Every structure is written in structure tokens, then in C-alpha cells.
A and B are shown apart, each in its own frame.
Chain A
């Protein structure tokens, strides 16, 4: 068996150029395949991490995204009195009424305008979002025109850096801090005092209410209580679930795009692999005849050629995956069509994607090699020997 394996391997080495080109073709396909999956996964994990377990969002009934929602001040106060909401040491509810506004900012470099999400935060907003961490400067003082920008926004938009000034809502705002929210959607937001934002944009209602529940289990009771109250007309969602749903359409779109592109590419690569394997068989018919004459059964010949194709596919898969893993260094920013704001996220490689990509590569090799291998094993010995 070891000699058979080394025979297959050495045949690949002997035809180095063909091997490299064929494996290269397959590597490209695996690269596209893995990249599409990594992108979808990156988007998914970004938006899933945006939520904190135990947190619940209260939005206007039927709202699919934050910007659609409106929560009246009085309604928000009513909800805050519910017993499922956790309390601070001083007895006040762990809840924050927030307002979300979309504004247009120019990008650094190109000057192109793009949507950025403003979030007016309450006193408790930060405590409710432990993943948000100040990396430079300080938090804005409530009652002032100070704002903090997420790292993603600070980096990509003009005037959003520390100490810089932004103009929106007919006012000038000073960026006094930069925060890092890890791989979450908050990284692409600008935060400031909720009341200041409401004044500037002439809003008299909040967008949403964020609450920390007593425990994760009390979500059901909280939801039933809020949704059953005829005065409220609100929906309750677990924060993590809400943000995951925000990514669903995008992730699905990326996945479908990636998989269909890959499907088209892989047909080409598979034909390439088949041509290579066919050529390998045609060039070695004499060898096959010799091996068969020496008494090697058809099975062994089949095994040797299938092994060769598998090695080829595995090589292509590994190279493609390696190239794709380099994509993790890049950050993509795109419009999230569900929130109409810019969202920055990275390519994320998971063990599942590694396995899937390698399996895809070897599968491609196997499919490409099987038919030629079957043909190789079926040649009559006498005919094969004539080809020497």
C-alpha cells in the first residue's frame, strides 16, 4: 500500500507543471468557496455578537429594524416599571431608552457619502453593553454636544476621529472618545446623549428601549406582559436574536452568491481535473498494462488513480484555503440593506469552513479522477501493453 501511495504521489511530482496548474485551478475554486462562506460567517458573527444575552429590546410592534421603530416617552416609562427588569443598587430599572438616527457622512479618502447610524444613549446604555469599551478619550458628558465614535466609523469617516468635529442636526459635535465594540455592529455607530440627539433632530419619541432582564428565563414573561398590554403596542425581542435577524438577509445573499459562483467555477475546475486525469491515464496506459500483467487487480489500479486525483484535490483545497485564510486580515464594510447603514465586518474562518473547503477540494478531485480511473482500470491488458 505504501508503495502504491508513493507511486501516486511520485506520478504527481513527475508531472510537476500539470500538477501545479491543475491544483492551482482547484485552489482558486476552493478559495472562492471558502471566501464566500467566511464572509457570510463574518457577517453573522458580527451581528450575533452585537447582542448581549439577558438583554431585551422593546420596539414598536411590527418593526423589523431599529430605524422603523418608535417608542413614546410615556410608553417607555411604563415598560420600565415591569418586574422582569433587573434593578440597580439604587432601585432604578436597568434600562435605557435610545434613539437611532441615520445620517450621511463623507468617507475619508474618497469623500463619498455613506449612511452612519447615530445612537442616542441613556445613562445605563454602557452598563447594558459590556462589549463596548472606550479605547481613547472619554465618554461624552450628558447634556453636552459631545459624541463618541466606534472605531470603524472613526477610521473610515471624515471628522469622526478623536478631537475632530462633525456637523449634523444643525449643530457641531465634538468627538471626545473612540470606543471599541469588538466584532459588533456598534463599531460602526456614533453615540451621544439621547436627549441632545432628540433635540437636534426634533424627535419627541425614543426609538427603542433596551432592558436587562432579571434572568434570561424571564424573557417569556416580559414579552407576554408587554405584548399583552393594549396600551403599549410593542414587540419584545432578545437583543442577540434581533441582531442575528438583521444579518439574515445579507448572510443569505452572500452565501447564495458565493455558492452559485463556486458551483460555476467548480464545474470548470472539475473539467480541468478530468482532462488532467485523462491525460495522466492516456500517458500511462502502458504502465497500467504492465501493472495488470504483473497481476495487480483492477481494484489496485483504480485505487492508485483515485488516490492521485484525491491528492491533487487535497493539494488544491489546502492551497485555496490557505489563501482564503489570509483574507481574515481584511475588513469589509458594506451597506446592510436591512438597516441602511454601513457595517464593517471581517472574514471569519471556522473549523467547519476548513473541513467543508477541504472536503470540497477532495470531492472535486475525486469526481474529476473517477471516470478516467475507471477507464484506466477497464483497458484490456493486451491493448494497454501495445501502448508502451
Chain B
């Protein structure tokens, strides 16, 4: 079925297989994700929804390779990232993942251009090429005239655009976004969602977005809902969250 509704779908970009994850709080072990399986086709824009503590951010972190599964595996573009070592994972992230955070996470002492250039430091590109790429990415998000501004001199929406430019500057396979509109007013949020939808459409980027906001979720091609660590059917209650999660749930 993979992504028949998604533009440019051709085999799963992300394949999550029986992933379990729990946290230890004091003496107690709290299960966060229980045997979650599903996949996301290339070019798809997926929204992960669910109440607080449902495990959606944990799932996003696992997909992005900044946290480790307890069991199960996650294939991104065919490679199992759960088997990678710490440094291999860091290298993989720098090449394959673009991050968009709720609070933008720009480095306050660097300019917009330098912030966007940051991930390129991990590539063999020359300084001139890095600058060219960063400028192009900023132009793409409509900030060509704000390159030399520090984050504190930019509005929330502009900061998030800068963060998106930083996320796409290395041309990664997937973009992960954790509440990207959570800190923005309605207008800015709308613009950011337009931008993300545009990236999915025109650049065929696979986007996984965690959100609380139903309006944000509406812009995704499909919505997956989590509750208490289980994947459930967004509209029709529990889907079970194990194995047979192929059929995407449309928003």
C-alpha cells in the first residue's frame, strides 16, 4: 500500500519494526512505546498525534536517531539505524536527517547564515560552497534579506524558517519536526506549515511531524495517532500498534 496517496511514493523511506522503548524513573520502568510498527513512504508528510506522554516525541527521536530503541529496528532508506554505533549514528544524522524543533534551537551567537551553514561543517564542502548552499537554503525559505541577522533579531516565524533552512541545507532524506508550530502565532504557523508542505511536494522530502495542533495535522498527508505507547487508528480507535500498521490513516 505504501503511500499510494503520497506524492512520489516509491518504497518505504522509514520502516519501523516492533519498536519497544521504556524509561526508568527511579525504581520504576515506564513503557513508552510498545511494539510499534509502521512505515512511511518516501515523500510522505506524516503527522504524529496523541496526548502528552503517548510516546510520539520518543518515536520521533528514535526515527531521528537521537535516542536508542530497547528492541525492534528502524530502517531509514533501507539501512537499519538501530545497529549503528554512536559515532556512525552521528554521521548518519548529519547526512540523512533534518531537524525542526518547537523552539527553533538556533545558536544565539551565530547569524542566520552561520546557523544554516552549521550542518555543512560536517561535510567536505569548501567554505565558499558552504556559504553558497546556506544562502540558497535561506532564499528558499524566503529569508534572503535576513542572512546576517542574529536569531534574537528575527521573529518567531523567521527563526523557524531559518531552522527549516538549516534542516534542508544538507539535502537529507527525512525531515523530523517536533511541534514546529507550537511556539508560533496562527499566521506564522500557517506559513511554516505551507513551507513544510511545499518541501514535501516540490522536493519530495519525507517529513515526520509531531504535533498537538489539529490544524497542523490537517496539512499532513496522513496522521498517525499514539496513545499510551500504542499506535491507534486516528478516527476509529485502537489499531493495535503491532505489525499490521500498513494502512495509513488519512486525516
Given contacts A293-B93, A297-B87, contact A382 B101 (CB under 8 A): no
CB distance from A381 to the nearest CB of B (A): 4
User: Chain B, interface size: which category?
Assistant: 20 to 34
User: Nearest residue in B to A299 (C-beta to C-beta)?
Assistant: B87
Q: Which residues of B contact A293 (CB under 8 A)?
A: 64, 66, 93, 99, 105
Q: Counting CB contacts under 8 A, is B67 at the interface? A: yes
User: Nearest residue in A to B92 (C-beta to C-beta)?
Assistant: A295
Interface flags for B106-140 (1: CB within 8 Å of A; 0: not) read 01111000100111011000010000000000000
Contact B109 A294 (CB under 8 A): no
Q: Which residues of B contact A286 (CB under 8 A)?
A: 103, 105
Query: 3 tightest CB-CB pairs across the interface, nearest first?
Result: A295-B94, A10-B109, A290-B105
Stretch from A1-9, A84-92, A234-242 at the B interface? A1-9
| CB-contact partner of B67 in A2, A287, A294, A382, under 8 A | A382
* Bound complex: CA A333 to CA B67 (Å): 68
A-B contact pairs, 10 of them (CB 8 A): A4-B121, A7-B107, A7-B109, A10-B110, A291-B107, A293-B105, A295-B90, A295-B95, A295-B97, A388-B101
Number of A residues with CB within 8 Å of any CB on chain B: 23
| CB-contact partner of B119 in A2, A11, A295, under 8 A | A295
Q: Which residues of B contact A279 (CB under 8 A)?
A: none
Contact A297 B90 (CB under 8 A): yes
Q: Identify which of residues 289-319 in chain A touch chain B, using a CB-to-CB cut-off of 8 Å.
A: 289-297
Q: Counting CB contacts under 8 A, is B61 at the interface? A: yes
Contact A295 B108 (CB under 8 A): no
Q: Which residues of A contact B102 (CB under 8 A)?
A: 388
| CB-contact partner of B93 in A2, A295, A382, A385, under 8 A | A295
User: Nearest residue in A to B58 (C-beta to C-beta)?
Assistant: A382
Given contacts A297-B90, A381-B66, 15 further A-B pairs with CB under 8 A are A3-B114, A3-B118, A3-B121, A10-B110, A13-B109, A14-B108, A287-B107, A290-B107, A292-B66, A292-B90, A293-B93, A294-B119, A296-B94, A382-B67, A385-B101
Interface flags for A102-130 (1: CB within 8 Å of B; 0: not) read 00000000000000000000000000000
Interface centre among A7, A11, A13, A293 (most CB of B within 10 A): A293
Q: Which residues of A contact B186 (CB under 8 A)?
A: none
* Bound complex: CA A299 to CA B95 (Å): 18
* Bound complex: CA A144 to CA B139 (Å): 96
* Bound complex: CA A147 to CA B32 (Å): 97
* Bound complex: CA A10 to CA B115 (Å): 13
